[in-house]
Amino acid sequence: MTLIDFMSMDGERQDLIRVVVGRSCRVAMRSELVIRFGYGHVIPWVNRLEDGTLRAIAGPDQLALRTTAPLRGDDFKTISEFTVSDGETVPFVLSYATSHLPLPKPIDADATLAKTEAFWTEWAERCRYKGPWADAVVRSHLVLKALTYEPTGGIVAAPTTSLPELPGGPRNWDYRFCWLRDSTFSLLSPMNAGYFDGARAWRDWLLRAVAGSPSRIQIIYGLAGECDLTERELAWLPGYQRSLPVRIGNAAHRQLQLDVYGEVMDTFHHARRGGLEHSEAVGGSARSFRIWRRFGSGPTKASGNAQREPPLHALQSNGLGGVRPRHSQRRAVHLEAPLERWRGIRSQIHEEVCRRGFNAKIGSFVQCYGGKTLDASLLLIPLVGFLPAGDPRSHCRDRRAPADGRWLCPSLRFFGYRGCDCHPAKERFSLAVFGSPTI
């Protein structure tokens, strides 16, 4: 028996489809469907229509379940018990619509599956990377495409909320938003693989999201460029593996992180360099560096200190801001731009970060000015061109560490950040390192 789960590619519909396929002998199956709207808080009314469709409705939402399998209600759940034999298929089609509209019309699950497979196969074959890691590259682009909201071009960091960084821990953030910090990678990845339509859609989303006063640019936005991402906790949910609290929204949208200005201009620079048509509106962010002297917060994960701790000059925030004037200088031949002022700002940022962000005693840049802690963002220093890779200061290795690097990265798991919010630092991420631990 095989279970095939997929979504239809019809942009006018929202269908989640499961097809149960019999492969050999006869298999007894049981399905339970628990429908709750409002993040599990609202129990809908459920009724059976004349054509056999099961409809669930509450407030602004409604769902329709269509299947050839028998259905019955039990304790606010929908139960289906059936058997499937070799060569048989049993479809379940769950369709969503707002409650004031008619239900979506029925669709053929097998025909929709064929169309969906054809779409993704054709899309994957367009990838122009043909090297030794082609399977992994294509799979990565399939994930990136699936994270893209087609109507606007926005790309979410994650499709769900409150998956903990450590099971049972408190860092359970809502990442269903678009991060400006990822904007350059989000552009270059599809563009380098030949998916210029996706890269263009992302560039256009970014241009719309940051429109307005440059001093009010946020670090994250909603899929359509929404600014209000108010964070709240859902006390009625138990959390994944009891990881509490469960959150929706993200308070980090109120943070000022100066590196996003560098990321935005870096994205526009690479878009033009990669052949995407130029938009004069890009020049509108030229005024953004007037706010550089304000404090910049560090990684967005550390949003817990936004209202509790005094602000720190985070090296990632201040340092990567220097990328913006560097690439703006390259654009100045196409725009009316104060080139000499930009060069002066870049030199000022570079000098201050090198002077205040480098700890000579431990031989490394640190998380924030005057600090002693390293974090993973320091690995970006040579990548963004702040310092050349051959500069010893860009190696981000604490000279107090043993030669094998165990103090910095026990078991080759790096801390993304330490001591920069109100929660204990236990979460790590894996990084494959071969040869010298000095990066």
- The predicted-structure confidence for 35-60, as pLDDT tens digits, reads as follows 999 999 999 999 999 999 999 999 99
The token pair at 345 is 């700002």
372-401 per-position pLDDT tens digit: 887 777 887 887 778 888 898 887 665 555
Query: Above 80 in pLDDT, residue 303?
Result: no
Q: What pLDDT digit, counting tens, does each position of 313-338 carry?
A: 556 565 555 554 455 445 444 555 66
* pLDDT at residue number 434: 34
User: What number is the average pLDDT over the span 398-405?
Assistant: 52
Other CB atoms within 10 Å distance of the CB of residue 371: 19
Summarised one tens digit per residue, pLDDT across range 63-118 is: 999 999 999 999 999 999 999 999 999 999 999 999 999 999 999 999 999 999 99
pLDDT confidence of residue 320: 53
* % of the chain residues with pLDDT over 90: 51
The contacts of residue 260 (CB under 8 Å, 6+ apart) are 180, 181, 217, 218, 219
* Of 89-93, 204-208, 262-266, the least confident: 262-266
pLDDT confidence of residue 225: 97
Q: Worst-scoring range by mean pLDDT, 228-237, 296-305, 362-371?
A: 296-305
Place of tokens 């500069």: 391
* 128 vs 54: CA distance, rounded Å: 45
282 vs 437 pLDDT, higher one = 282
Determine the pLDDT at residue 280.
Answer: 59
Per residue in 129-158, pLDDT (tens digit) is 999 999 999 999 999 999 999 999 999 999
Rounded CA separation 406/316 (Å):
24
Lowest mean pLDDT among 154-158, 349-353, 419-423: 419-423
**CATH class belonging to 2-121:** mainly beta
Whole-angstrom distance, CA of residue 378 vs CA of residue 326: 19
CATH 1.50.10.10 residue ranges of the chain are: 126-357
Can you tell me the distance from the alpha carbon of 412 to that of 394, in angstroms, rounded to the nearest whole number? Answer: 19
284 contacts 261 by C-beta, under 8 angstroms: no
Q: How confident is the model at residue 6 (pLDDT cuts 50, 70, 90)?
A: very high
Kindly report the CATH class assigned to 126-357: mainly alpha
pTM assigned to the model: 0.81
- Burial letters 203-229, b for 16+ CB under 10 A, else e: bebbbbbbeeebeebbbbbbbebeeeb
Q: What confidence score (pLDDT) does residue 23 get? A: 93
At residue 407, does pLDDT exceed 60? no
Residue-averaged pLDDT of the chain: 82
- Which band of pLDDT confidence, cut at 50, 70 and 90, is reported for residue 305? very low
Residue 424: asked if its preceding bond is cis (omega within 30°), the reply is: no
Tokens of 131: 């090297």
Confidence band of 304 (pLDDT split at 50, 70, 90): very low
Q: What is the amino acid identity at position 399?
A: R
Residue intervals in the chain for CATH 2.60.40 = 2-121
Confidence of residue 306 (pLDDT cuts 50, 70, 90): very low
How far apart are the C-alpha atoms of 225 and 177, rounded to whole Å?
Answer: 9
Burial of 304 (0-12, 13-18, 19+ CB in 10 A): middle
